[in-house]
Structure 1
Amino acid sequence: MSRNVIIENAGGPENMKIVNVDVGNPGPGEIRIRHKACGLNFIDVYQRTGLYPLTLPHALGMEAAGIVEAVGEGVIHLKPGDRAAYASMPPGAYSDARVMPAAQVCPLPDSISFEEAAAIMLQGMTVEYLFHRVWPLKSGDTVLFHAAAGGVGLLACQWAKSEGIELIGTAGTDAKCQLALENGATHCINYRDHDFVPEVQKLAGNGVDVVMDGVGKDTFDGSLDCIKPLGMMISFGNASGPVEPVSLLTLAAKGSLKMTRTTLFTFLADHQRCQDMATHLFSKVASGDIKVNIGQTFPLEQIADAHRSLESRQTTGSTIITL
């Protein structure tokens, strides 16, 4: 048996409920994993509220780490007893144990704890694909990264510093800006006290090479004014709400800009690419380039409180759920 967090109707944090389910055995291409910790991410909020619709009722949670208990036919990269971690569809990580597809579950090195893995799989592989697969960055490039003190943001600050990338961050308080700077941001702008657009223009001159924006509606229009001609706008999240439609002529007028709306799970869908991304992430942690920042921890019974904290921007770094 396993405790699972589910929703029967989309809505607020109060719509989540904990139920007991029979886990069962894995079929072909599947594993059964017993979780030690799971992660909390904005995609969980989007699914809970219905912004990203699920067939209801449905379990929630996209990221966890634990021990493989059983493997189904055809699974060769994992075996019972292995430490493993994942950020993967379908949702269901808010649970003691689950049966799930094996392809996107990754062997976890002994040097990385279950809690650290639960804190970085989704967010760390997001940074990996943003920096190396959407718009490959090189030393000397400039990036505007919104929400630089969040879980993804702090990892991006460290990753950028380790590779000689100039990262200009934004955050909502002076304390959060200081945290981003301590983690490797070159500059950080308090967007509540300052309009970030002229601040970025002063810092970056002709504009940044790329904007990486997980905030969405509140930052999108201003971000376009921060990009140098022929630069790239990467929208990868909707923390403040979805971006309104944009005219292609706007991109032309602002300097023949490029724009993409990405999702991590498109990149993870290929088994080998997923494993390569995880290996790259783990190597950054092992080298000391990335230090995992677990800002807050909630027990599974307080999952609603965890969601409220995330939505109200009260969290810093990563949030994990303990079991």
Structure 2
Amino acid sequence: MRAIQIINAGGPEVLNPAELPDPEPGPGELLVGVAAAGVNYIDVYQRNGTYPMAMPYVPGLEGAGRVLALGPDVTDFAVGDRVAWVEALGSYAERVTVVADKAVPVPPGVSDEVAAGLLLQGMTAHFLVNDTHPVQHGEDVLVHAAAGGVGLLLTQLAAARGARVIATVSTAEKEELARAAGAADVIRYGEVADLADAVRNLTGGAGVHAAYDSVGRSTFDASLASLRRRGMLVLFGGSSGPVPPVDPMRLNAGGSLFLTRPKLFDYISTPEELRTRATDVFAEVVDGTLDVRIGHRYALADAATAHEDLQGRRTTGKLLLLP
């Protein structure tokens, strides 16, 4: 089969097209033909060594496709079923094995591309607004990188729950996307001298109830300074780099603030929780609450270009590889 293989950690150039043997499903596993694979920042962290990986390996965790074969002891799926997943390393390939307990059925009305473009980032947005900081009607929330894959979905969900979303973006095109997703106000990074002051001016000086920050190093201080008393900074990514160590007294001085660094896999830690959360986000696509924007589609062999575009912040919405 055709796949992307990484032999050594490094930049996008280490994403090498390769011909590899077809995988075989083991007990409790599915063999799936990959229709679309999602490109995510966790793939970048694994590729560049931030998250050390055993080498060599085939990257990619997320995708959607059709079941080709069943391993022993699989009872919940049949050959031909459409499934999606977010925890199957090796998804940058034509075929991948997926643990059956980590697969979710794709409902009618949701295409393979939408399923692959939605699941990881959609469930991330879902737990952020429902569990980490349950967004309430009338709250003010700050969403960084609001035209990105998670940002667009997070903006839609927060706005649907009655929050006023203040979005940050880098360009006029991204501002238009953020507003279409439901952002009430949009701040462009390069057009304000002080981001926290701009946020506070939009909230009558009070600040926001929650700041959702996937950017990290370059926005962390502004996010913290944008919070109202007892506000929460939800740091769920680091596209600009890791945040240096934080003195907890900064939370005290800022007004009894909260800081959390969540990850999706702690919110889908059981098959039941995974299925429930996936069912919810698929339902929100079907009923029109969520519009999944596929920002760009790449051939499998162009995985390096996809990573370059993602890291260069040249993208909006979701990036997909199409084997």
What root-mean-square deviation, in Å, do the aligned CA atoms of Structure 1 and Structure 2 show? 1.2
SS class of match (1:218): coil
Match of 2:319 in 1: 319
Deviation at 1:71, TM superposition (A): 2.3
User: In 2, are the aligned partners of 1:26 and 1:70 still within 8 Å (CA)?
Assistant: yes
Match of 1:85 in 2: 84
Match of 1:275 in 2: 275
The superposition leaves residues 18-42 of structure 1 with CA deviations (integer Å, 9 ceiling, x where unpaired) of: 2222224322221111111111111
User: Which structure 2 residues correspond to residues 131-280 of structure 1 after superposition, within 5 A?
Assistant: 131-194=129-192, 195-205=194-204, 206-280=206-280
The superposition leaves residues 210-246 of structure 1 with CA deviations (integer Å, 9 ceiling, x where unpaired) of: 1111101000011101111111111110100011110
Q: Which amino acid aligns with 2:100?
A: A
Partners of 1:201 and 1:248 in 2: CA distance: 22
TM-score (norm 1): 0.96
Query: Percent identity of the aligned residues?
Result: 40
TM-score (norm 2): 0.96
Q: Which amino acid aligns with 1:104?
A: K
The superposition leaves residues 126-145 of structure 1 with CA deviations (integer Å, 9 ceiling, x where unpaired) of: 10110112121222122111
User: In 2, are the aligned partners of 1:23 and 1:99 still within 8 Å (CA)?
Assistant: no
Return 5+ residue gaps in structure 2 as ranges: none
Match of 1:67 in 2: 66
Partners of 1:287 and 1:74 in 2: CA distance: 35
The number of residue pairs the alignment matches comes to: 321
Return 5+ residue gaps in structure 1 as ranges: none
Match of 1:101 in 2: 99
Partners of 2:189 and 2:48 in 1: CA distance: 26
Partners of 1:62 and 1:6 in 2: CA distance: 13
The superposition leaves residues 271-323 of structure 1 with CA deviations (integer Å, 9 ceiling, x where unpaired) of: 11111110000010011011111111110111111111111111011111111
Match of 2:297 in 1: 297
Deviation at 1:98, TM superposition (A): 1.1
Deviation at 1:55, TM superposition (A): 1.2
Match of 1:114 in 2: 112
Partners of 2:228 and 2:179 in 1: CA distance: 23
User: In 2, are the aligned partners of 1:104 and 1:269 still within 8 Å (CA)?
Assistant: no
Partners of 2:142 and 2:74 in 1: CA distance: 41
Deviation at 1:174, TM superposition (A): 2.1
SS class of match (1:231): strand
